[in-house]
Amino acid sequence: MKNKEMLLIPGPTPVVDDIYDALASETMAHTDPRFVKIFENSLQLTKQMFNTDGEVFVVSGSGTLAMEMAIVNTVAPGEKLLVVSHGYFGDRFIQLGEAFGIEVTALQAEWGKQVDAEAVRAKLAEGGYKAVTVTHVDTSTGVAASLDKLVPVVKAAGALFILDGVCATAAIDENMNKEYGSPDYKIDVVLTGSQKAIGVPPGLGVLAFGPKALAAREERERIPAYYADIKNWQPIMQNPGKYYATPAVNMVYAFNKGMEIVMEEGLEQRFRRHDALGQAVRAALTTYGMQVLAEEGAEAPTLSCILYPEGIDDAKFRQMLAAKGMIVAGALASLAGKAFRIGHMGNVTKEMMVEAVRLIGETLNEMGYEARVDTAVDQFVSVYEGNLKM
Ligand SMILES: Cc1ncc(COP(=O)(O)O)c(C=O)c1O
């Protein structure tokens, strides 16, 4: 492993050597047939991952660009967008929609809780909503949205279902051909970034548009975007040998390798592994007297927001962990200082997470708080193994 530190923030996530090696390969011309083949392969794998009948887009930029592309191509200025928000990143769609003159309404959950699907149904019953955004996992809270509850409600109202998968894709199912209770109740757009559960460094925005979302773009002659206009990217994604804007050649190498790793592990196995990792991390850390912010049933497989026991100084705790080579993130907004966020996604291993549980316990002990490290590690291992066997 080239990594010197355990990067357990909610993304970027630890990068494995094969991906670093791909990233460091010699830069080719973006029109070189060898590069075009790699780009095509990565798009094919992305299409398989989302199981979409539509089209996928891989562009240079971060997850926020992907959010913007999802909105600006589907919802016109003056049209109505409903934002279902479980935290900071859900809320970002409010500002984003408003920046494009879209009429935004938001349903915001108390941090740690899910938005009630009945409230979404009631809001949509007011009529006229073109699309609804749902953040699959909100990275600020570690709350996962329930697609089983939300997709049918949104689709029954005739709106497009736009899913922010930045903190979920490749760890939780985002199958765009899955029918949620009726043949045409499907996810219309998934947007994501390269740097979280896909396990690649930051730098690429990734999107999948299903047929209805593509049709929404087709209906309009112009949209208020140029780089973010999928019409400009469609010819490139169909034939990556064509030029529109120079692709991040080395990031595409890395992304292709990352997607190969995802598909070699197998989606089902990858989803199971993340589920088991999430459950095991939470079970272990609660033995230290810590609490999980996310309400029961809404805990994300990819990251957890963990409330400190009384008297633990956040900055000191994270500094001490960093000195041991393990990096976690602080919490946002009103939770700052009261909680930390730990990622357990991408190409992290059981061994890494066991080490994380151990280091957290040792740090708590050094801070004068009694933590039973062996009990926590045993708990981690038994919950992890138990879940993988299920
Ligand atoms: C759920 C979610 N959506 C969107 C974003 C924005 O992505 P980026 O920071 O890559 O622009 C993030 C970033 O962490 C995120 O976690």
Cα of 349 vs its chain's centroid, Å: 18
Residue 176: name the closest of 168, 184, 117 by CA.
184
Those residues of the chain that have pLDDT short of 70 are none
Question: Is the whole-model pTM more than 0.95?
Answer: yes
Q: Helix 350-366 crosses helix 267-286 at what angle (to 10 degrees)?
A: 20
Whether the Cβ atoms of residue 103 and residue 128 lie closer than 8 Å to each other: no
CA–CA gap between residue 146 and residue 274 (Å, rounded): 16
- What pLDDT is recorded for position 389? 80
CA distance 220 to 215: 9
**Minimum-distance ligand 1 atom for the alpha carbon of 65:** 11
| Pair of tokens at residue 191 | 């947007």
In contact, 43 and 37? CB cutoff 8 Å: no
- Distance (angstroms) between ligand 1 centre and the Cα of 135 equals 10
Q: How close is the Cα of 65 to the center of ligand 1, in Å? A: 9
Segments in 61-210 forming alpha helices (H)? 63-72, 88-99, 117-124, 147-156
Residue 175 CB partners (closer than 8 Å, separation 6+)? 50, 51, 187
| pLDDT score, position 1 | 73
Using a CB cutoff of 8 Å and minimum separation of 24, what contacts does 125-128 make? Answer: 125/157, 128/80
- Residue whose Cα lies nearest atom 7 of ligand 1: it is 63
Predicted local confidence at residue 120, as pLDDT: 98
Instruction: Report the CATH number of the 17-264 domain.
Output: 3.40.640.10
- Tally the residues of the chain: 390
Residue of the CA atom closest to atom 9 of ligand 1: 63
Residues of the chain with CATH 3.40.640.10: 17-264
Best residue for ligand 1 mutational test, from 59, 64, 174, 255 (most atoms within 8 Å of Cβ): 64
> Per CATH, is 266-389 categorized as 3.20.20.10?
no
Q: Which of 79, 77, 270, 95 is nearest to 159 (CA)?
A: 79
Are 388 and 276 spatial neighbours (Cβ–Cβ below 8 Å)? yes
Q: CA-to-CA distance for 136 and 143, rounded, in angstroms?
A: 8
How many angstroms does the Cα of residue 162 sit away from the middle of ligand 1? 15
- Residue ranges, CATH 3.90.1150.10, the chain: 266-389
Closest listed residue to residue 388, CA positions, set 292, 259, 278, 302: 278
**DSSP structure string for 161-204:** EEEE-TTTBTTB---TT--SSSTT----EEEEETTSTT---S-E
Does 286 contact ligand 1 (Cβ within 6 A)? no
pLDDT digit string, tens, across residues 160-203: 999 999 999 999 999 999 999 999 999 999 999 999 999 999 99
Q: Which two tokens stand for residue 288?
A: 């230290």
